[in-house]
Structure 1
Amino acid sequence: MHAVLFVPAVYLLLLLTPFTTSWWAAGSFLVMDPNQTCKRARWQRGKMADICHNKPGLLNQIAKGVALAQTECQYQFRYRRWNCTTLRRSIKKVMLRDTRETGFVNAIVAAGITFQVTRACTKGEQIGCSCSKRKKKRNKKKHTNPPLPEGDWEWDGCGENIEFGIKKSKDFLDNRYKKRSDMKTLVKLHNYVAGRMAIKNHMRTVCKCHGLSGSCTLKTCTRKMPTFREIGNRLKERFDGAAKVIPGNDGQSFMPEGETIKPPGRVDLVYSEESPTFCEPDSALGSFGTKGRVCNDTSQGEEGCGILCCGRGHKPHNEEVKVNCNCTFKYCCEVHCDVCKVVKKINTCE
């Protein structure tokens, strides 16, 4: 069974060396050292280079955002044949293609950077931003997303500045693609937007009351992001329903592969290549196969032995694990437990 590795916060999404012959490959890899990334950008200009050269605090938050995204990818894909592992550069090789998996990784990375930068801004980190300032009095006629609460209330002075997070995510990921319109770039940029919209479209309004003895003489409200787990869940749903697209007739857009398929919206994930099965080891594809993976013999889902084992069958065996047992409460206030060994039945793919 192959272990899922969690990636340090210094991992970043960016370029390979300038000697790479494939422009697409160079723009798709996850580079492990942000210092090396910025060294490669030292002769470049633009917003990404400006972050590297002049904004170390912001660069650090971007790195944390990429690490957050990779951890969430590994959680969301923990039962899939390809589990978003970084072992032996698996994710790097997967990103060379334009599959559904690639689309999800691009979306979750854009979301991770947006989320982390926005949260750092709210916490007062020195990254060149301020919290979101809003008018104290609400405009009853204006439609907003999320909808505004009923009754009399005022905006709190400081909300989560999602627009700043989105802008810095664009500066770091999108900016250098602006003059390109090839198919893979269009798909990449679309999925970046979908990742950010998974946050922006689901901001929630949180209110609290002020007054003596629990009264609500004044209610103040502010906007908050959803949790990153909610964002990951939402993007995983989009991954399951991702649309395959082909180049449009104008050479600067894409359209659904099938005529009866609804054109994807900004929140939908898209891809242009079919995914490999990931059933067998293939170093060129970043696949380790699924032999030895733990599966659930009672499930019909993606973690079930039928799907995860690719029809090869599975083998049950026992595994000894340690658990707390015979726990007693001692006044006051401690709980004492013994450590017991129990045998747990698990199934692994043949």
Structure 2
Amino acid sequence: MPIMMKCYPRRSSRKIHLLLFVWTLILLLKTSEAISIGSWMYLGMSSLTQPLHDSSTCNHIPFLVNQQQEVCKRNPQSMMCIGHGARKGISECQYQFKYERWNCTTHRSPSVFGKLLEKGTKETAFIHAIASAGVVHAVTLSCSDGNLTDCSCDMSLQGNTVEKNTNWRWGGCSDNIKYGLWFGQTFVDAPEITQHKNNRNVRNLVNLHNNKVGRQIIEENMAIRCRCHGVSGSCAVKSCWRSMPSFRKIGDVLKSKYESSIEVGPRSRKKLRRRQKRHRKIRIPDNMLVHMHRSPNFCQTDSRKGILGTRGRACEKYSDDGADSCTMLCCGRGYNTKVEKTVTRCHCKFYWCCKVKCKTCVTKQDVHTCK
């Protein structure tokens, strides 16, 4: 199985980091006008670098709902994994949209994505799905690494044979996807469930659906990895285990689902239906992202909506009308071109003994930025 980074380091001054984390969150909370539904994602941008070992600290994380605080109190160490999962989601979002008009802009505030989360757009759908997937991915890996006290890797299949006359059997230590899915659903869905009970808002149903899609994508893409056994590597018998896909693969799948996101409207307080002409309602697939509102115009700066626009963004002049092309990214405003020089050492030679002599090479490159 691949070696993965653990959710938290084992050494450091934990009390100092813990106090700094809590102080930062409280300060930002006081300076913020309101906390959005997605505020738990701020754990991915906070200064928390050590696990919480005191459950009473959970009460001082102001943007968690009651159920999330209970999760924190039962297993304070899990907060590091949640923060790591949120960071993975934010980072993957920025990778997938780095050439788009909206490039997954984040803000140094508890709402993380600013006012964008106030509308149920395609972008909001992707954010909820990738953040939900990030938590499941991080928690499941942490179980396999032995970093959480409430779970370990999955050994339930070990020793079982798949079919007669086959040369492989279940072995090793599978990723505990069942625990990861349960934990992710319990923590990530809690704010939406709480708000839906209080307000009966259809937006919460949309967010819950997209959270579920993010989790399902990981489960659907679980792979079987094997190790050979036998004399001189004959592979007479193979031991196999279930392993999660890379998070980049999860991001790729969710980006394709973003492109084909379905617009929905309320049918009842418990179900969603696809919005189509003549008010014909069709049940939406469980594995598709859904949205309620059209995306805003990301071309122009709009501080009221928290949109930065595309002015000054680098673009590709010769791209074939792709998302990164100057035609698409600059929204028809045109672009500026400047020449950037790069100086590097090149044509290096080693002379006996013991010198290395290099020449200086200057390369020029045209850089295009949107007007």
Q: Distance in 2 between matches of 1:68 and 1:285?
A: 25
How far did 1:184 drift?
0.6
What per-residue deviation string (whole Å, max 9, x for no partner) do you get for residues 257-284 of structure 1? Answer: 1157964322211110111111111122
Q: CA RMSD in A?
A: 3.4
Query: 2:272 — aligned with what?
Result: 254
Q: Distance in 2 between matches of 1:156 and 1:311?
A: 57
Query: 1:6 — aligned with what?
Result: none
Q: Distance in 1 between matches of 2:166 and 2:282?
A: 39
| Residues 218 and 250, structure 2, Cα contact 8 Å, conserved in 1 | yes
User: Is residue 188 from structure 1 mapped to residue 207 from structure 2 by the alignment?
Assistant: yes
| Residues 41 and 49, structure 1, Cα contact 8 Å, conserved in 2 | no
Q: Distance in 1 between matches of 2:258 and 2:75?
A: 33
What secondary structure sits across from 2:131 in the alignment?
helix
Structure 2: segments with no counterpart, 5+ residues: 1-8, 10-20, 23-27
User: Is residue 137 from structure 1 mapped to residue 160 from structure 2 by the alignment?
Assistant: yes
**Partner amino acid for 2:288?**
D
Give 1:71-220 correspondences, 5 Å limit: 71-87=91-107, 91-135=113-157, 136-140=159-163, 151-178=166-193, 180=196, 181-220=200-239
Larger helix proportion, structure 1 or 2?
A: 2
How far did 1:96 drift?
1.8
What's the TM-score once normalised by structure 2's chain length? Answer: 0.78
How far did 1:319 drift?
1.3
Higher relative contact order (CA 8 A, sep 6+): 1
What secondary structure sits across from 1:119 in the alignment?
helix
What secondary structure sits across from 1:107 in the alignment?
helix
How far did 1:168 drift?
1.2
Number of positions where the alignment pairs a residue of Structure 1 with one of Structure 2: 326
Structure 1: segments with no counterpart, 5+ residues: 1-8, 142-149
**Residue of structure 1 aligned with 2:249, choices 230, 237, 244:** 230
| Residues 299 and 331, structure 2, Cα contact 8 Å, conserved in 1 | yes
User: Is residue 51 from structure 1 mapped to residue 39 from structure 2 by the alignment?
Assistant: no
Q: Distance in 1 between matches of 2:342 and 2:59?
A: 45
**Residue of structure 2 aligned with 1:295, choices 310, 315, 320:** 315
Distance change (3 Å), C-alpha of 1:335 and 1:64: farther
Q: Distance in 2 between matches of 1:18 and 1:140?
A: 61
What secondary structure sits across from 1:284 in the alignment?
coil
How far did 1:177 drift?
3.3
**Partner amino acid for 1:326?**
H
| Residues 162 and 169, structure 2, Cα contact 8 Å, conserved in 1 | no
Q: Distance in 1 between matches of 2:103 and 2:294?
A: 17
What per-residue deviation string (whole Å, max 9, x for no partner) do you get for residues 179-207 of structure 1? Answer: 62521101101110111111110101111
- Name whichever of 271-280 and 124-133 sits farther off: 124-133
Distance change (3 Å), C-alpha of 1:42 and 1:254: closer
What per-residue deviation string (whole Å, max 9, x for no partner) do you get for residues 98-132 of structure 1? Answer: 11111101100000000011111111113410111
How far did 1:327 drift?
4.0
How far did 1:323 drift?
4.1
| Residues 42 and 49, structure 1, Cα contact 8 Å, conserved in 2 | no
Distance change (3 Å), C-alpha of 1:99 and 1:124: same
| Residues 273 and 281, structure 2, Cα contact 8 Å, conserved in 1 | no
| Residues 37 and 192, structure 2, Cα contact 8 Å, conserved in 1 | no
| Residues 137 and 153, structure 1, Cα contact 8 Å, conserved in 2 | no
Query: 1:316 — aligned with what?
Result: 337
Distance change (3 Å), C-alpha of 1:307 and 1:37: farther
How far did 1:346 drift?
1.3
Distance change (3 Å), C-alpha of 1:177 and 1:320: same
What per-residue deviation string (whole Å, max 9, x for no partner) do you get for residues 50-72 of structure 1? Answer: 23224221110110010111011
**Residue of structure 2 aligned with 1:28, choices 38, 49, 52:** 38
What's the TM-score once normalised by structure 1's chain length? Answer: 0.82
| Residues 134 and 157, structure 1, Cα contact 8 Å, conserved in 2 | no
Distance change (3 Å), C-alpha of 1:130 and 1:322: same
| Residues 118 and 164, structure 1, Cα contact 8 Å, conserved in 2 | yes
**Partner amino acid for 2:36?**
A
Distance change (3 Å), C-alpha of 1:339 and 1:185: farther
Q: Distance in 1 between matches of 2:30 and 2:187?
A: 18
| Residues 17 and 40, structure 1, Cα contact 8 Å, conserved in 2 | no
| Residues 20 and 26, structure 1, Cα contact 8 Å, conserved in 2 | no
Identity %: 33
| Residues 77 and 83, structure 1, Cα contact 8 Å, conserved in 2 | yes
| Residues 41 and 52, structure 1, Cα contact 8 Å, conserved in 2 | no
